[in-house]
Structure 1
Amino acid sequence: MSRAPGARVLVLNGPNLNLLGRREPELYGTVTLDEIESLCQAFGERNDLPIDFLQSNHEGVLIDAVQEAGQHAAGIVINAAGYTHTSVALRDALATVGIPIVEVHLTNIHRREAYRRTSFVSEVADALICGAGAHGYVLALTHLSHLLEKLEKKDR
Protein backbone atom coordinates (compact mmCIF):
# COMPACT_ATOMS: atom_id res chain seq x y z
CA MET A 1 0.00 0.00 0.00
CA SER A 2 1.29 3.42 -0.79
CA ARG A 3 0.56 6.12 1.74
CA ALA A 4 1.89 9.46 2.71
CA PRO A 5 5.11 8.98 4.64
CA GLY A 6 4.48 8.74 8.35
CA ALA A 7 0.74 8.02 7.97
CA ARG A 8 -0.25 6.21 11.16
CA VAL A 9 -3.38 4.56 12.45
CA LEU A 10 -4.58 4.73 16.03
CA VAL A 11 -6.13 1.57 17.48
CA LEU A 12 -7.95 2.80 20.55
CA ASN A 13 -9.42 0.60 23.28
CA GLY A 14 -11.74 1.61 26.10
CA PRO A 15 -12.40 0.50 29.66
CA ASN A 16 -11.86 -3.02 30.93
CA LEU A 17 -10.30 -4.28 27.71
CA ASN A 18 -7.04 -4.53 29.63
CA LEU A 19 -8.73 -7.50 31.38
CA LEU A 20 -9.23 -9.52 28.20
CA GLY A 21 -8.27 -13.14 28.64
CA ARG A 22 -9.50 -13.08 32.24
CA ARG A 23 -12.77 -11.14 32.00
CA GLU A 24 -15.78 -13.26 31.11
CA PRO A 25 -13.89 -15.59 28.76
CA GLU A 26 -17.17 -17.26 27.80
CA LEU A 27 -18.14 -13.94 26.17
CA TYR A 28 -14.86 -12.34 25.18
CA GLY A 29 -12.63 -15.38 24.70
CA THR A 30 -9.18 -16.00 26.09
CA VAL A 31 -7.18 -13.73 23.79
CA THR A 32 -5.47 -10.93 25.69
CA LEU A 33 -5.22 -7.29 24.65
CA ASP A 34 -1.47 -7.80 24.22
CA GLU A 35 -2.22 -10.56 21.71
CA ILE A 36 -4.66 -8.29 19.88
CA GLU A 37 -1.99 -5.61 19.76
CA SER A 38 0.41 -8.15 18.25
CA LEU A 39 -2.19 -9.02 15.58
CA CYS A 40 -2.60 -5.32 14.79
CA GLN A 41 1.15 -4.65 14.68
CA ALA A 42 1.68 -7.67 12.38
CA PHE A 43 -1.03 -6.34 10.06
CA GLY A 44 0.65 -2.94 10.09
CA GLU A 45 4.05 -4.41 9.25
CA ARG A 46 2.64 -6.50 6.38
CA ASN A 47 0.83 -3.49 4.96
CA ASP A 48 3.32 -0.69 5.63
CA LEU A 49 0.88 0.92 8.04
CA PRO A 50 2.36 2.07 11.35
CA ILE A 51 0.01 1.34 14.26
CA ASP A 52 -0.28 3.25 17.52
CA PHE A 53 -2.11 1.11 20.09
CA LEU A 54 -3.66 2.54 23.24
CA GLN A 55 -6.01 1.34 25.98
CA SER A 56 -7.41 3.43 28.79
CA ASN A 57 -10.07 3.07 31.42
CA HIS A 58 -10.42 6.86 31.51
CA GLU A 59 -12.77 8.71 29.19
CA GLY A 60 -10.68 11.89 29.09
CA VAL A 61 -7.56 9.97 28.04
CA LEU A 62 -9.52 8.43 25.15
CA ILE A 63 -10.88 11.83 24.11
CA ASP A 64 -7.39 13.35 24.22
CA ALA A 65 -6.09 10.47 22.07
CA VAL A 66 -8.87 11.00 19.51
CA GLN A 67 -8.17 14.73 19.34
CA GLU A 68 -4.43 14.06 18.89
CA ALA A 69 -5.18 11.50 16.18
CA GLY A 70 -7.20 14.13 14.34
CA GLN A 71 -3.98 16.14 14.07
CA HIS A 72 -1.52 13.37 13.21
CA ALA A 73 -3.16 10.06 12.24
CA ALA A 74 -4.60 8.79 8.99
CA GLY A 75 -7.44 6.90 10.67
CA ILE A 76 -8.81 5.34 13.84
CA VAL A 77 -9.97 1.86 14.79
CA ILE A 78 -11.89 2.10 18.05
CA ASN A 79 -13.36 -0.34 20.52
CA ALA A 80 -14.84 2.12 22.98
CA ALA A 81 -16.12 -0.78 25.12
CA GLY A 82 -18.60 0.49 27.74
CA TYR A 83 -18.17 4.08 26.51
CA THR A 84 -19.74 2.99 23.22
CA HIS A 85 -23.15 3.14 24.87
CA THR A 86 -22.64 6.07 27.24
CA SER A 87 -20.15 8.67 26.06
CA VAL A 88 -21.53 11.55 24.05
CA ALA A 89 -18.23 13.34 24.72
CA LEU A 90 -16.21 10.58 23.01
CA ARG A 91 -18.69 10.53 20.14
CA ASP A 92 -18.35 14.29 19.74
CA ALA A 93 -14.55 14.05 19.68
CA LEU A 94 -14.73 11.36 17.00
CA ALA A 95 -17.14 13.49 14.97
CA THR A 96 -14.61 16.31 14.72
CA VAL A 97 -11.45 14.49 13.61
CA GLY A 98 -12.15 14.35 9.89
CA ILE A 99 -10.37 11.01 9.33
CA PRO A 100 -11.81 7.54 8.68
CA ILE A 101 -13.08 5.68 11.74
CA VAL A 102 -13.89 1.99 12.04
CA GLU A 103 -15.69 0.80 15.17
CA VAL A 104 -14.94 -2.72 16.36
CA HIS A 105 -16.36 -4.96 19.10
CA LEU A 106 -15.34 -8.47 20.06
CA THR A 107 -18.93 -9.59 20.59
CA ASN A 108 -22.01 -8.94 18.50
CA ILE A 109 -23.48 -6.01 20.41
CA HIS A 110 -26.82 -6.57 18.65
CA ARG A 111 -27.19 -10.01 20.24
CA ARG A 112 -26.50 -8.75 23.76
CA GLU A 113 -28.39 -6.71 26.33
CA ALA A 114 -30.68 -4.04 24.91
CA TYR A 115 -28.58 -1.15 26.22
CA ARG A 116 -25.55 -2.45 24.29
CA ARG A 117 -27.40 -2.11 20.99
CA THR A 118 -27.10 1.68 21.14
CA SER A 119 -23.75 2.94 19.92
CA PHE A 120 -22.90 6.62 19.96
CA VAL A 121 -19.70 5.70 18.10
CA SER A 122 -21.62 4.15 15.18
CA GLU A 123 -23.24 7.51 14.51
CA VAL A 124 -19.88 8.90 13.41
CA ALA A 125 -17.97 5.78 12.28
CA ASP A 126 -17.50 4.81 8.66
CA ALA A 127 -18.01 1.14 9.47
CA LEU A 128 -18.86 -1.23 12.31
CA ILE A 129 -17.39 -4.70 12.78
CA CYS A 130 -18.75 -6.74 15.65
CA GLY A 131 -18.93 -10.36 16.69
CA ALA A 132 -15.71 -11.53 15.04
CA GLY A 133 -13.65 -11.74 18.22
CA ALA A 134 -10.03 -10.68 18.09
CA HIS A 135 -10.04 -11.20 14.30
CA GLY A 136 -12.43 -8.23 14.12
CA TYR A 137 -9.47 -5.92 14.69
CA VAL A 138 -7.76 -7.30 11.57
CA LEU A 139 -11.01 -6.89 9.65
CA ALA A 140 -11.29 -3.32 10.94
CA LEU A 141 -7.72 -2.51 9.89
CA THR A 142 -8.32 -4.12 6.49
CA HIS A 143 -11.37 -1.96 5.92
CA LEU A 144 -9.63 1.15 7.23
CA SER A 145 -6.78 0.49 4.77
CA HIS A 146 -9.35 0.26 1.99
CA LEU A 147 -10.86 3.60 3.05
CA LEU A 148 -7.42 5.21 3.16
CA GLU A 149 -6.60 3.93 -0.35
CA LYS A 150 -9.85 5.42 -1.65
CA LEU A 151 -8.94 8.76 -0.09
CA GLU A 152 -5.48 8.66 -1.64
CA LYS A 153 -6.90 7.97 -5.08
CA LYS A 154 -9.37 10.81 -4.66
CA ASP A 155 -6.57 13.20 -3.67
CA ARG A 156 -4.45 12.38 -6.72
Structure 2
Amino acid sequence: MKIAIINGPNLNMLGIREPDIYGSNSYDDLCSNICSYARKKEIEIIFFQSNGEKEIIDFIQDIYSSVDGIIINPAAFTHYSYALHDAIKSVPTPFIEVHISNIHAREGFRNTSVTASACIGSISGFGEDSYIVALDAIYRHISNNI
Protein backbone atom coordinates (compact mmCIF):
# COMPACT_ATOMS: atom_id res chain seq x y z
CA MET A 1 0.00 0.00 0.00
CA LYS A 2 1.23 3.48 -0.86
CA ILE A 3 0.01 6.59 0.96
CA ALA A 4 0.91 10.22 0.23
CA ILE A 5 1.08 12.66 3.12
CA ILE A 6 0.67 16.28 2.10
CA ASN A 7 1.52 19.08 4.50
CA GLY A 8 0.61 22.69 3.86
CA PRO A 9 1.99 26.07 4.83
CA ASN A 10 4.32 26.53 7.76
CA LEU A 11 4.50 22.85 8.69
CA ASN A 12 8.12 22.97 7.60
CA MET A 13 8.55 25.21 10.68
CA LEU A 14 7.53 22.54 13.19
CA GLY A 15 9.72 22.64 16.28
CA ILE A 16 10.21 26.38 15.82
CA ARG A 17 6.67 27.66 15.33
CA GLU A 18 4.58 27.80 18.51
CA PRO A 19 5.97 24.66 20.18
CA ASP A 20 3.32 24.98 22.90
CA ILE A 21 0.71 24.21 20.22
CA TYR A 22 2.60 22.13 17.64
CA GLY A 23 5.24 20.42 19.79
CA SER A 24 9.02 20.54 19.77
CA ASN A 25 9.67 17.95 17.06
CA SER A 26 10.90 19.20 13.70
CA TYR A 27 9.20 18.43 10.39
CA ASP A 28 11.93 15.86 9.70
CA ASP A 29 11.19 14.25 13.09
CA LEU A 30 7.50 14.06 12.20
CA CYS A 31 8.25 12.39 8.86
CA SER A 32 10.69 9.96 10.47
CA ASN A 33 8.18 8.97 13.16
CA ILE A 34 5.45 8.39 10.57
CA CYS A 35 7.80 6.30 8.43
CA SER A 36 8.80 4.15 11.41
CA TYR A 37 5.15 3.40 12.13
CA ALA A 38 4.28 2.83 8.46
CA ARG A 39 7.11 0.32 7.98
CA LYS A 40 5.52 -1.92 10.64
CA LYS A 41 2.38 -2.03 8.51
CA GLU A 42 4.30 -2.35 5.24
CA ILE A 43 2.98 0.98 3.99
CA GLU A 44 5.10 3.08 1.66
CA ILE A 45 4.87 6.79 2.44
CA ILE A 46 5.44 9.68 0.05
CA PHE A 47 5.79 13.07 1.73
CA PHE A 48 5.13 16.46 0.21
CA GLN A 49 5.18 19.83 1.92
CA SER A 50 4.59 23.22 0.35
CA ASN A 51 3.73 26.70 1.45
CA GLY A 52 1.97 27.25 -1.88
CA GLU A 53 -1.62 26.38 -2.71
CA LYS A 54 -0.84 25.87 -6.42
CA GLU A 55 1.98 23.44 -5.65
CA ILE A 56 -0.26 21.35 -3.41
CA ILE A 57 -3.00 21.22 -6.04
CA ASP A 58 -0.47 20.30 -8.73
CA PHE A 59 0.91 17.53 -6.48
CA ILE A 60 -2.58 16.09 -5.91
CA GLN A 61 -3.23 16.05 -9.65
CA ASP A 62 0.16 14.47 -10.35
CA ILE A 63 0.12 11.78 -7.62
CA TYR A 64 -3.50 10.67 -7.14
CA SER A 65 -3.43 7.73 -9.56
CA SER A 66 -0.18 6.29 -8.19
CA VAL A 67 -1.19 6.12 -4.50
CA ASP A 68 -3.91 4.26 -2.64
CA GLY A 69 -4.81 7.14 -0.36
CA ILE A 70 -3.79 10.61 0.75
CA ILE A 71 -3.53 12.15 4.20
CA ILE A 72 -3.55 15.93 4.05
CA ASN A 73 -2.84 18.62 6.59
CA PRO A 74 -3.94 21.69 4.63
CA ALA A 75 -2.83 23.97 7.51
CA ALA A 76 -4.15 27.51 6.94
CA PHE A 77 -5.67 26.47 3.59
CA THR A 78 -8.14 24.42 5.65
CA HIS A 79 -10.13 27.52 6.45
CA TYR A 80 -10.52 29.20 3.07
CA SER A 81 -9.19 27.21 0.11
CA TYR A 82 -12.13 26.24 -2.03
CA ALA A 83 -9.58 25.53 -4.78
CA LEU A 84 -7.99 22.86 -2.58
CA HIS A 85 -11.44 21.49 -1.70
CA ASP A 86 -12.20 21.19 -5.40
CA ALA A 87 -8.83 19.52 -6.12
CA ILE A 88 -9.52 16.89 -3.46
CA LYS A 89 -13.04 16.29 -4.83
CA SER A 90 -11.76 16.07 -8.41
CA VAL A 91 -9.87 12.81 -7.89
CA PRO A 92 -11.17 9.37 -6.84
CA THR A 93 -8.44 8.79 -4.23
CA PRO A 94 -9.63 8.73 -0.59
CA PHE A 95 -8.35 11.62 1.57
CA ILE A 96 -8.24 12.09 5.32
CA GLU A 97 -7.74 15.58 6.70
CA VAL A 98 -5.43 15.80 9.70
CA HIS A 99 -4.38 18.52 12.13
CA ILE A 100 -1.84 18.46 14.94
CA SER A 101 -3.86 20.85 17.11
CA ASN A 102 -7.58 20.72 17.83
CA ILE A 103 -8.82 23.30 15.34
CA HIS A 104 -12.16 23.46 17.16
CA ALA A 105 -10.52 24.60 20.41
CA ARG A 106 -8.56 27.47 18.87
CA GLU A 107 -9.30 30.88 17.38
CA GLY A 108 -12.73 31.22 15.81
CA PHE A 109 -11.45 31.42 12.25
CA ARG A 110 -9.77 28.01 12.70
CA ASN A 111 -13.01 26.30 13.71
CA THR A 112 -14.26 25.93 10.14
CA SER A 113 -12.77 23.61 7.57
CA VAL A 114 -13.79 24.08 3.94
CA THR A 115 -11.68 21.06 2.94
CA ALA A 116 -12.97 18.45 5.43
CA SER A 117 -16.19 17.82 3.51
CA ALA A 118 -14.13 16.71 0.51
CA CYS A 119 -12.44 14.03 2.65
CA ILE A 120 -13.69 10.72 4.03
CA GLY A 121 -12.81 11.90 7.54
CA SER A 122 -11.00 14.45 9.66
CA ILE A 123 -8.73 13.92 12.67
CA SER A 124 -7.38 16.69 14.89
CA GLY A 125 -6.02 17.44 18.30
CA PHE A 126 -3.75 14.48 18.96
CA GLY A 127 -0.44 16.09 18.10
CA GLU A 128 1.74 13.98 15.83
CA ASP A 129 -0.45 11.00 16.70
CA SER A 130 -3.16 12.56 14.52
CA TYR A 131 -1.13 11.31 11.54
CA ILE A 132 -0.85 7.81 13.04
CA VAL A 133 -4.59 7.64 13.68
CA ALA A 134 -5.19 8.85 10.11
CA LEU A 135 -2.76 6.27 8.75
CA ASP A 136 -4.60 3.47 10.56
CA ALA A 137 -7.96 4.80 9.40
CA ILE A 138 -7.01 5.14 5.74
CA TYR A 139 -5.33 1.72 5.82
CA ARG A 140 -8.55 0.11 7.09
CA HIS A 141 -10.68 2.12 4.67
CA ILE A 142 -8.61 1.05 1.67
CA SER A 143 -8.34 -2.56 2.84
CA ASN A 144 -12.12 -2.79 3.27
CA ASN A 145 -12.78 -1.33 -0.18
CA ILE A 146 -10.44 -3.46 -2.30
Q: TM-score range by the shorter chain?
A: over 0.9
Alpha carbons 1:78, 1:102 under 8 Å: kept:
yes
Name the counterpart of 1:132: 126
Name the counterpart of 1:83: 77
Name the counterpart of 1:4: none
TM value normalised by structure 1: 0.90
Cα distance in structure 1, aligned partners of 2:145 and 2:58: 25
Q: Structure 1 residue 144 and structure 2 residue 126: aligned?
A: no
Alpha carbons 2:6, 2:70 under 8 Å: kept:
yes
- Unaligned ranges ≥5, structure 1: 1-6
TM value normalised by structure 2: 0.96
Whichever of the two has the greater Rg, that structure is: 1
Q: Structure 1 residue 72 and structure 2 residue 66: aligned?
A: yes
> Identical aligned pairs, as a percentage?
38
Q: Structure 1 residue 48 and structure 2 residue 42: aligned?
A: yes
Cα distance in structure 1, aligned partners of 2:37 and 2:19: 25
Q: Give the CA deviation at 1:144.
A: 0.6
Within a 5 Å distance, the mapping from 1:1-156 to structure 2 comes to 7-152=1-146
Alpha carbons 1:39, 1:138 under 8 Å: kept:
no
- Unaligned ranges ≥5, structure 2: none
Deviations 1:60-102 (A, max 9, x none): 1100111122221110000000011111111100001111111
Cα distance in structure 2, aligned partners of 1:105 and 1:95: 19
Q: Give the CA deviation at 1:120.
A: 1.4
Deviations 1:94-127 (A, max 9, x none): 0011111111101000011111111111111111
